[in-house]
Amino acid sequence: MIKKFLQRISNHQTQRISAAALILSIASFLSFVLGLIRDRLLTSSFGAGNELDVYYTAFRIPDFIALVLMTGAISVAVVPIFTQNLVKSKEKAFSYLANLLNVSLLVLILVCAVLFILAPQLTSLIAPGFSMDKKEITTLLTRIMFISPILMGISNIISAVLRIFQRFLITALAPIVYNLGSIVGILFFVPIMGIKGLAWGIVFGALMHLLIQAPALFKTGFKIKKIFSFFDSDFLLTIKLTIPRAIGLAATQINLIVITIIGSTLLAGSVSVFNLANDLSLPIIGLIAVPFAVAVFPALSLSFAKGEKEALVQKFVSVFRQILFLIIPLSGLAFILRAQLVRIVFGAGRFDWTDTKLTAACFGVFMLGLFAQGLIYLVSKTFYSVKNTVIPTIASIISVAINTALAYSFVWALSFNNAFSNMVASGLKIQGMKNLAVVGLPLAVSLSAIFQLVLLLLLLKKKIGDFKAKELLFFFGRVLLVTTLTMALSYFLRQMLGGFLGSETFIILFLQTSVVGILGLVIYLLTAGLFRLPEVKLLRNFILSQLPNSFSSRNEEISSENCKK
């Protein structure tokens, strides 16, 4: 039965962008839910203290390697090159892929082996504020986790190719099994191995990520070949496109490393608080921005390959509007319910009220720039679709410099009593907290993300010409206005339900948060309808198109036409 199920999902193809985005959104949501369950298990077992500081810091370098060398960089180059070869010949495309996988595997093994040896020096570099004991444990976990980039690097190349063949479902399930592996590590490995079990859980998840996708790749007709050429023209083009993207991703990861360096010098638990707040914000991006950007990327690449510039711009503008329409209200509601969400997700075991307040404050600050973080995915994918990886790289590097300067400045300014620190503490309702300075870290990330988005959009206009920027800006203002009204009403509902129900137990807190969240979304959609935002009708028709065939054929035709747009 399990074998038949795996065969069905391996062969499942998704034709429309919106349907592919829906699959990726649902799977991303499930994956992030599992990720939050993982984090809840971590916080209940260890609290926001030294152990989690060690875990998140140890994860930083292996994650850096996986993202920079393979996950983002290579896969971005693979899609346009593989697509171009596929138009000519399927055999040519598969030969390119076989060579790429062989060379990539060798490079990843060599890089991780070298870094395995240098792990103590890397730990001292990214966690200068750790004690000697914390550094030793961090080094041990880092060395174990270096197995993960090898597996994830190969697996993510496979994901990129499967999406070209419209196998979105199987690629969407891969992150789910990855998080399941992490949970297995917490529940089964930690009781046996101690904190090392966390690292082995990451490795196990990476292995599952690869194994679930490999059969689907072979079903497309791909076969392993003994091809190993550094001088193949397509491989060299891949490297040419990858290097700027790798630098850009390195810049993005350096942002997180800078945060880790600064966090290691603050009170114990600072690294954990930042990462937990960041993890809690990721489901919104993963549910909205990433699926749309990933789903539209092959279509953008194909439009460019065919020379259909107007089609490319139309797809970009449509997805841009849809991301804005969904991500801004979700961010606003999350800001209103930040303390409740943190308590529901992490509030167990050793995770106390102080941890909750600081994590909620950081999470709330992340919400201010979440729309920018989400749209950066789409704008960057648009550049990659026209085979330009240099411009996003330049923007990322500039963003790193700004983030670093802002992070140090905000942490310093929030470390003592002054007008700025009082304003931040009052706005986030964390007066009197000892570790207020940690809030400066997400504040720097949010502001630098907004700057990076603006810069990317200005450069995109120079690259592809007019993409209806004024129309998008006006649309942004309308969505922001509707969201502000929604937040005001949702805040009133939260206060009213809080006074009526209280928030002493998990069930009551969950009920309160769910009711306010659902009613907030209803209010937003109704208000958006009054403001005549066309995305309301588009969303309604798309939902109808996904329901069973109990609706009229006329509704189905309208839904299908709108979804294709």
| Other CB atoms within 10 A of residue 363 CB | 27
- Residue 271 in any domain: the answer is yes
Average pLDDT of the segment spanning 308-319: 88
List, in sequence order, the alpha helices (H) in 465-505.
469-501
Whether the predicted pLDDT of 213 surpasses 60 = yes
- Residue 197 in any domain: the answer is yes
Q: How many CA atoms lie within 13 A of 444 on its CB side?
A: 28
Of residues 105 and 466, more confidently modeled: 105
Measured at the CA of 123, the angle between CA 132 and CA 177, to 5 degrees, comes to 120
Whether the predicted pLDDT of 546 surpasses 60 = no
Band of residue 553 on the pLDDT scale cut at 50, 70, 90: very low
Residues 270, 254, 139, 133, CA torsion sign: negative
90-122 residue pLDDT tens: 999 999 999 999 998 998 999 999 999 999 999
What residues contact residue 558 under an 8 Å CB cut-off, 6+ apart? 541
Band of residue 10 on the pLDDT scale cut at 50, 70, 90: low
pLDDT for position 4:
58
- Residue 240 in any domain: the answer is yes
SS3 531: coil
- Residue 199 in any domain: the answer is yes
pLDDT for position 72:
56
Residue type, 163: R
Residue for token pair 């005001």? 488
Q: How many domains does the chain have?
A: 1
Band of residue 561 on the pLDDT scale cut at 50, 70, 90: very low
DSSP states along 187-229: IIIHHHHTTHHHHHHHHHHHHHHHHHHHHHHHHTT--------
Q: What percent of the chain has pLDDT over 70?
A: 88
CA distance 240 to 228: 18
- Residue 396 in any domain: the answer is yes
pLDDT for position 12:
58
CA distance 107 to 112: 9
524-536 residue pLDDT tens: 999 998 988 888 8
Of residues 238 and 204, more confidently modeled: 204
Average pLDDT of the segment spanning 352-372: 92
- Residue 217 in any domain: the answer is yes
Whole-model pTM? 0.77
Residue type, 497: L
Structural domain range at position 381: 10-467
Rg of the chain on CA atoms, in Å: 23
Residues 129, 132, 137, 142, CA torsion sign: positive
- Residue 552 in any domain: the answer is no
SS3 276: helix
- Residue 47 in any domain: the answer is yes
